[in-house]
Amino acid sequence: MGRNVRHLLLTILIALPCGGAFAQLALVTGANSNISEISRAQAERLFLGRATTLGDNSPVTLIDLPPGQIRDEFYLRLTGKNPVQTRANWSRQVFTGRALPPRQADSAEQVRAWLIEDPNAIGYLPASAVAADLRRLLKIDD
């Protein structure tokens, strides 16, 4: 095998996501939130803009992490959509007036702060970042 071919194959292998390479993710809310549970189907509808309230018609404020690997992995695991498909979906929702995209935080710390101050807020974080001031609603697996 030529040197360039080996280099190309090594580059491709490094770029491929490994099953266990990503942190576990959790859908979370503030510890004092009125939201006590959510189904995976409800979470998917909310984060695709197909629903704006919970089953009991409670309003929900969705919070996104900034663009990056964790956000991309969250949407891929929850909705099966890659970043391009996710952006296209939200563009359609906004254009048709059906829904607004989640509020975008600058960091995981800002997500945590917003979840604590807004009892209707739902966001996601790496499971390792979920502390006592947050309530885990749903584990997001592959």
Instruction: Give the separation between CA 6 and CA 11, rounded to whole angstroms.
Output: 9
Q: Which domain holds residue 116?
A: 23-140
pLDDT of residue 3: 53
Answer whether residue 86 is part of any domain. Answer: yes
pLDDT of 1 reads 54
DSSP-assigned letter for residue 128? G
Q: Is residue 51 part of a domain?
A: yes
In a domain, 5, yes or no: no
CATH number of the domain where residue 90 is located:
3.40.190.10
Cβ atoms 103, 61 nearer than 8 A = yes
pTM over 0.85: no
> Is 2 inside any structural domain?
no
Longest dimension (CA), the chain: 62
Residue 17 in any domain: the answer is no
d(CA 10, CA 25): 28
Which two tokens mark 109?
Answer: 């710390």
- Predicted pLDDT of residue 20: 46
| 16 belongs to a structural domain | no
1 in a structural domain? no
Task: Give residue 31's pLDDT.
Answer: 95
In a domain, 132, yes or no: yes
Please give the pLDDT value at position 132: 94
Note down pLDDT in tens along the chain; length 142 residues: 555 444 333 333 333 444 445 679 999 999 999 999 999 999 999 999 999 999 889 999 999 999 999 999 999 999 999 999 999 999 999 999 999 999 999 999 999 999 999 999 999 999 999 999 999 999 998 6
Number of domains in the chain: 1
